[in-house]
């Protein structure tokens, strides 16, 4: 396997938007495999509360269990301290120099990448795959891609995908308020959340 995609994030919880983005990246970029890599202590997000790392891992495994080219990586969960993409990519490319890594991001992340820790290392060690969310933003996205390419010699591939507005924070709010999350994520993940009463505010059933 020579072309590996990386889907990073807290996955708190994983949802169909993550899966749809990964599948489109796999197909359009001709990848061999996608690694779902949950972060432990991302510098830009509050660490998940009232949920264990193993529960996030369990939900990812349930979400990707029927897709042979999706795979879980606990690499970042096994590291201490803040989780930085530059460090992850450095470790991966040192250990597997024959692999071409493709880091998959949404447009929100793309516009912030120049402010991440050691952005030059990130762009030196991977190809960035960015998914456009709607046609109205495409001009702005391509302008920023050009900026990153000129500033960091970044290698960026733009892929097309329909707009899917699902956020983990919204799902947590829906569960807490007793609203349905059917079709927001695979049924196996919904069943796991219900069984373990994750994100609940005394509701017995959110299906």
Domain annotation covers residue 177: no
What CA–CA distance (Å, rounded) separates 25 from 31? 7
195 is a domain residue: no
Q: Is residue 205 part of a domain?
A: no
- Domain span including residue 88: 3-166
Report pLDDT digits (tens) over 107-146.
889 999 999 999 999 999 999 999 876 555 788 899 999 9
pLDDT at 204: 46
Q: Does residue 67 form part of some domain?
A: yes
16 burial level (CB within 10 Å; 0-12, 13-18, 19+)? middle
Residue 138 in any domain: the answer is yes
Supply the pLDDT for residue 153. 98
pLDDT at 205: 45
186 in a domain, yes or no? no
The answer to whether residue 197 is domain-embedded is no
Give pLDDT, residue 8: 96
Low-confidence residues of the chain, pLDDT below 70?
1, 44-49, 133-136, 202-207
Instruction: Residue 136: give its domain's CATH number.
Output: 3.40.50.620
**Tally of domains in the chain:** 1
Which residue has tokens 């947590």? 172
Q: Within a domain: residue 51?
A: yes
Q: In the prediction, which pLDDT does 47 show?
A: 57
Identify any residues that bridge with 157 across adjacent strands, giving them in sequence order.
129
The phi, psi pair for 143, rounded to 5°, reads -65, -40
Spatial contact of 175 and 12, defined as CB atoms under 8 Å apart: no
């Amino acid at each position: 396997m020579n072309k590996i995609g990386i889907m990073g994030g807290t996955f708190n919880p994983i949802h169909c938007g993550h899966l749809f983005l990964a599948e489109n990246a796999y197909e359009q970029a001709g990848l061999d495999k996608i690694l779902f890599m949950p972060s432990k202590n991302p510098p830009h997000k509050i660490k998940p509360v009232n949920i264990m790392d193993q529960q996030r891992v369990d939900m990812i495994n349930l979400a990707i269990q029927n897709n042979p080219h999706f795979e879980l990586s606990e690499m970042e969960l096994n590291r201490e301290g803040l989780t930085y993409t530059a460090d992850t990519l450095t470790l991966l490319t040192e250990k597997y120099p024959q692999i071409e890594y493709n880091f998959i991001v949404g447009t929100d992340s793309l516009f912030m990448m120049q402010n991440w820790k050691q952005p030059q290392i990130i762009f030196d060690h991977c190809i960035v795959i960015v998914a456009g969310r709607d046609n109205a933003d495409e001009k702005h996205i391509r302008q920023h891609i050009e900026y990153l390419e000129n500033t960091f010699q970044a290698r960026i591939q733009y892929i097309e995908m329909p707009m899917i507005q699902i956020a983990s924070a919204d799902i947590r709010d829906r569960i807490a308020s007793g609203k349905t999350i059917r079709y927001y994520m695979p049924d196996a993940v919904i069943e796991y959340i219900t069984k373990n009463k994750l994100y609940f505010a005394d509701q017995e059933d959110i299906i």
